[in-house]
Amino acid sequence: MCVCVGPCFVQTDYYYQYTECDNTGSRWRVAIPLNPGSCSDLPPPTRGTDCSFSCPAGMFLEMSAQQCTPCVAGSYSLGSGLRFDQWDAIPAGFTSLASFFDPGPNAEDIQACNSSSWTPQGVYLESNRDECTVSLVYAVHLEKQGSVSFTYQYPNNIFFEFYVQNEQCQEMAQADDQKWIKFTTNGEWETHIVDLKSGMNILYWRTTGILVGGKMVKPVLLKTIQIEGVAYTSECFPCRPGWFSSAPGSSSCQPCPSNTFSIKGASSCTPCPDHHYSGEGWAECKVRPPCSEKDYFQIHTACDSEGKTQVVHRWVEPKICVENITGAVELPAVGQREPCPPCNPGYYNSNDSTCLPCPHATYSDGTSACTACPAGTEPVLGYEYKWWNVLPSNMKTSCFNLGNSKYNNMNGWEVAGDHIRSGASSSDNDYLILTLHVPGFKVPASLSGVTGNEFGQITFVFETICSADCELYFMMDVNSKSTTVVESWQGSKGQQSYSHTMTRNVSVTYTWAFQRTNHALDVRHFVNDMVKMYSISVTNALDGVASSCRACALGPQNSQQASSSCVPCPVGFFIDRDTNRCQECPPNTHLAGHHAYSRDACVACGPGSISNKDHSRCYNDCSFTHIDNNRTLTFDLSPMSDVALLTIGPSFTSKGTKYLHVYNISLCGHEGKRAAICTDNVTDVSGRDDQSDGAHFVNSVDSFICQSTIIPADGRGFRLAISSQSISLADTFLGASVETILDGNSAKPYLFPENPGGVPDINFYYRSTQATASCDRGRHSVITVRCNPHKSEQGELSVPSSCPAGTCDGCSFHFLWESASACPRCAEDDYHRIEGTCKGGVQETLYVWNEPKLCTKGVSLPPRSLSPCEAITLWLKVGVGGGAFMAVLLISLTCYFWKKNKRLEYKYSRLVMSANKECELPAADSCGLAEGEEPEDDMVYSQKPTLLGKLRAIANKEQGESIESVLLNSSQSDRWVLG
């Protein structure tokens, strides 16, 4: 219960407020005491204005009279809107919430993001620079349909999205042109507008750093946030310090000029005291310091009529230092007059020492007069800037400050004779910008049919000298529609060359932006950090000049065209040096590089590759042939021709952000065309519809092999996956071979498990010549195709276990593709025959594959066959014949040895009789022989000899015969003769 202690006589004791609108759109104005229960006699409730009522810009609703009243000087009002452009602190009502993409299992890693937040930097609000997801949230209730607009900077190495939810946390529908936020060029501000519905609207600005690859994150910057559609404003907003509004009824405030300041709610600016200075929009003045070497820079004057130049020094503008005090340095004296550097190639020195471009069809090396190209030649058009006395007419330089968005045409880049370098700036985080505009490209007539999709090339030589976190960006703006960062370099880099090829004939503006530090520092500590550009050359520029002439193709001799006129060669033709006529390249060769003169321009395709009909490139038709041990192996890889997707991961950065490496791989392409496409945008892996309004902002690369880094959507309300850092790994196909080295590239088979089969691996070699900051010779890739009959025809891709991202050094990539299609086509050597037994006079013959089967398709197994046969099988016939032969052989040997044994017995008996010569023989035994007769061989034995005796006789055969012959021939033998 409220108890009032006294009446309220003045309005300062209370304030008015409207009640909630009823269903008829009406409301009441009620008075509310400033201190509840402190007074009585409050004014009675009064019917208020209509709920849709609002005041115009520059006015506010004065609640006492319920009428619109102009704002006083020093304040402003949007009428029915809110504006936030003062970022000394995060305004009331805004909340900064940090979280992880993918928190750990115990959600403990979230603690690492507690310090991540949007940070106010005075004139803008800066997002986080780490991998945490940080949301800037603001809730507003609209009584009618309205909108929100914000001015921002959005680099392409951080994810940034804006979306709206209602009070039930349901996301509001947005049109495509409102849903996708456009990237910005370094130093430029863009404005994004989104429609809002009446009721509660919760606005989310969400950012997440992408640190995969190691480059420092550049934050998103918010400069002005404006919301339209609030019911009314009962007061005006005072101008922030450093700004003012001089007239009543203002809808905005203006920044104070340099060397002035203002306090909050000022209607005018106050000049700074003596020896003080301020920048635009400053709330206070600072004491001018003594001048030092950091406050001036040197330039070279233009050549005078005598061809002389000299070095002069100038103060950095705006000048903030004081010269005539103790410790101050003076501006150095003007240098000696020196001869001007020569003109750049394609220019000549006029009478007033000015370099002018040579006329059409003439050329000059920059030191001599322009000379007409001889007959049968044409000028080599382009730009070749290597002397820097003055800035060429098609180049501009500027300095961009993040805070006040002002360009300074004097302090961007400065010419310095043999190089051009970054100049001074008012702050270390300013962007120093150098631009070169090329209206288009014109391929020489004789080369118009041989350069393929290459229209021109830009090459520049540079070095960076840095002591802080400087960065040099090389960007490209095509047709003044979209600017993309082609490459960037951080920190000090030695003198090096970089080239980029143009594959479309478009108008392009090349931009070099140098920033000494990307932290918000309103100081100049690193003025000696700089980038030096030594030379810039562009080939085939539409408005280029010629430094030389080259031979061109002449028309046919029987044509009506003059023989000295240059004509374009047909596609796939080169210029013969002897005749200056066009000749077609031999089969399976391609025209290489930027020259097409002589047959040497036709370079033979690598092993396992053929050329397309235009001779613009070589490719593999998804087939391969190899001779192994006098056997021809034929491979049909057509089932592997579709683009394959390989996802590696997940991996985690140092702060725990989960990411995946996704490779799109096209083994053969499509007749040499690169069929693998990777996008670099804010979308899912499958990519956004090319017909959508946001497709204009999609950056993609096409290649034989390309890689994207995917940060998947998480379960914390993050709605989309991030596909970023798309790169090409294989622009050119070098060849396919079973050898492990081709054209200096190695397959490194030790990275993968040993091939267990008898089919050799096939290595497909690719190269991407686009140089990068870390790979000065470009990247190269090898796909090892291996026969594995246990895999499908499409097969399976993998990367080395020791290099889980497919590369160990970031420049060479290796993949293993195992597939049944990688097995050779089957031939007759891959199967063998098996003959069955003879059953019923029929024999069956079968054919089976050799195990393990390491072939596919090709010839088929012959069908089984039946053939007649005899009942007795061949082996039985052979056995019977062999048995009969052995029986005959045994009988013959038995007879032979029996007869031999009998003779030995007789000789043995004679020997025994000879040994007993003293004995007398019976008379009956000697009467049968006449004088001179030899005794018969037949002997009668009293006892039959044993088998052992026979064997001993055989063994002693030779000895026995010698003794026998001696004894029988002895004279004592006469005693055996009778009569």
Give mean pLDDT, residues 365-375: 89
What is residue 384's predicted lDDT score, i.e. its pLDDT? Answer: 94
The pLDDT of residue 169 is above 80:
no
Contact present, 163 and 204 (Cβ < 8 Å):
yes
Instruction: Identify how many contiguous H helices and E strands the chain contains and give both numbers.
Output: 5, 67
Average pLDDT, the chain: 79
Helix (H) or strand (E) holding 964: helix 957-968
Contact present, 684 and 721 (Cβ < 8 Å):
yes
Q: Which residue has the higher pLDDT, 861 or 841?
A: 861
Contact present, 660 and 650 (Cβ < 8 Å):
yes
Task: Give residues with Cβ within 8 angstroms of 943, minimum separation 6.
Answer: none
pLDDT tens by residue, 948-957:
555 565 555 5
Give this prediction's pTM: 0.68
Buried b (16+ CB within 10 A) or exposed e, 736-764: bbbeeebeebebbbebbeebeeebbbbbb
What is residue 773's predicted lDDT score, i.e. its pLDDT? Answer: 67
Bridge partners of 652, per DSSP, are 658
* DSSP single-letter state for residue 97: E
The pLDDT of residue 869 is above 90:
no
The pLDDT of residue 696 is above 70:
no
The pLDDT of residue 868 is above 50:
yes
pLDDT tens by residue, 697-709:
346 788 899 988 8
pLDDT tens by residue, 630-674:
888 999 999 998 899 999 878 776 666 677 889 999 998 877 678
Q: Which range has highest mean pLDDT (15-24, 38-47, 237-246)?
A: 237-246
pLDDT-derived band at 105, boundaries 50, 70, 90: very low
The pLDDT of residue 509 is above 60:
yes
301: left (phi over 0), alpha (psi -120 to 50) or beta: beta
Amino acid at 681: N
Name which of 88-92, 150-154, 315-319, 847-851 the model is least confident about. Answer: 315-319
Q: Residue 925, SS3?
A: helix
pLDDT tens by residue, 574-627:
888 777 788 888 988 888 765 677 788 888 999 999 988 888 888 899 999 998
What is residue 978's predicted lDDT score, i.e. its pLDDT? Answer: 33
pLDDT tens by residue, 174-217:
776 676 788 787 677 889 999 998 888 999 998 877 665 556 67
pLDDT-derived band at 924, boundaries 50, 70, 90: very low
The count of other CB atoms within 10 Å of the CB of residue 456 is 26
User: Could you give the percent of the chain with pLDDT greater than 70?
Assistant: 80
Say how far apart CA 166 and CA 201 lie, in whole Å: 5
**How is residue 682 written in tokens?**
């804010």
pLDDT-derived band at 508, boundaries 50, 70, 90: very high
The pLDDT of residue 522 is above 70:
no
Bridge partners of 574, per DSSP, are 583
CA of residue 845 relative to chain centroid, distance: 58
CATH for the stretch 624-682+698-823: 2.70.130.10
Q: What are phi and psi of 895, to 5 degrees?
A: -60, -40
**How is residue 610 written in tokens?**
């053929």
pLDDT tens by residue, 882-900:
888 888 888 888 888 888 8
Contact present, 174 and 136 (Cβ < 8 Å):
no
Say how far apart CA 311 and CA 319 lie, in whole Å: 20
* Furthest-apart CA atoms within the chain: distance in Å: 199
Round the CA-based radius of gyration of the chain to a whole number and report it.
50
Strand 395-400 with 431-438, pairing: antiparallel
User: Could you give the percent of the chain with pLDDT greater than 90?
Assistant: 23
Amino acid at 538: V
The pLDDT of residue 156 is above 50:
yes
pLDDT-derived band at 928, boundaries 50, 70, 90: very low
Q: Which residue has the higher pLDDT, 771 or 852?
A: 852
- The answer, yes or no, to whether the previous bond of 650 is cis (omega within 30 of 0) is yes
pLDDT tens by residue, 435-464:
999 999 887 766 665 555 678 899 999 999
Alpha helices in 595-711 (DSSP H): none
What is residue 188's predicted lDDT score, i.e. its pLDDT? Answer: 79
Domain ranges of the chain: 14-76, 88-101+116-233, 239-244+253-287, 341-548, 624-682+698-823, 831-868
The pLDDT of residue 408 is above 90:
no
Say how far apart CA 375 and CA 369 lie, in whole Å: 19
pLDDT-derived band at 878, boundaries 50, 70, 90: confident
What is residue 247's predicted lDDT score, i.e. its pLDDT? Answer: 92
What is residue 450's predicted lDDT score, i.e. its pLDDT? Answer: 53
pLDDT tens by residue, 537-550:
999 898 899 998 88
pLDDT-derived band at 420, boundaries 50, 70, 90: very high
Amino acid at 522: D
Question: Which CATH architecture describes the domain 88-101+116-233?
Answer: Sandwich (2.60)
Q: Which residue has the higher pLDDT, 841 or 715?
A: 841
What is residue 923's predicted lDDT score, i.e. its pLDDT? Answer: 46
Give mean pLDDT, residues 481-507: 84
Please tell me if the domain spanning 88-101+116-233 has the same topology as the one spanning 341-548.
yes
Bridge partners of 661, per DSSP, are 648, 709
Say how far apart CA 786 and CA 827 lie, in whole Å: 19
Amino acid at 675: A
Which segments within 760-841 are labelled E, that is strand? 762-768, 779-787, 796-798, 812-819, 831-839
Look at domain 341-548 and name its CATH class: mainly beta
